[in-house]
């Protein structure tokens, strides 16, 4: 196993296997004290994802459009015919 650094806890050699048979690579560890690497890679600044628009908002905007008055009469007729 190649040495890739020095352990910040005990000063031992930090190694990682050069052969691995998995999708996720092995975590580097200290050959002296067994400590594991605290994180993989650099810390990347992130921003929260924009929440998708809800269907209620989408339908609300449809109901206020120029055609909505025509649909309103269709809804009224359907409710009269079904008793709702």
pLDDT per position as a tens digit, 26-37 = 888 999 999 998
Q: Over the stretch 8-19, which tens digit does the pLDDT of each residue have?
A: 999 999 998 888
**Across the chain, which distance is largest between two alpha carbons, in Å?**
83
| Strand segments (E) across the chain | 3-6, 13-15, 29-30
CB 62 within 8 A of CB 54: no
Q: Is the pLDDT of residue 63 over 70?
A: no
Q: CA–CA separation, 11 vs 33, rounded Å?
A: 9
pTM here is: 0.46
Long-range contacts of 3-10 (CB under 8 A, 24+ apart): 4/28, 7/32, 7/33, 7/35, 9/33, 9/35, 10/35
């Amino acid at each position: 196993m190649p040495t890739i650094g020095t352990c910040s806890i005990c000063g031992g050699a930090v190694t990682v296997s050069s052969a691995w048979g998995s999708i996720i690579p092995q975590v580097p560890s200290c050959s002296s004290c067994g400590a594991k690497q605290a994180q993989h890679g650099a810390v990347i600044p992130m921003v929260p994802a924009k929440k998708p628009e809800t269907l209620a908002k989408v339908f609300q905007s449809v109901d206020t459009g120029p055609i909505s008055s025509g649909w309103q009469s269709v809804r009224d007729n359907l409710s009269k015919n079904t008793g709702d």
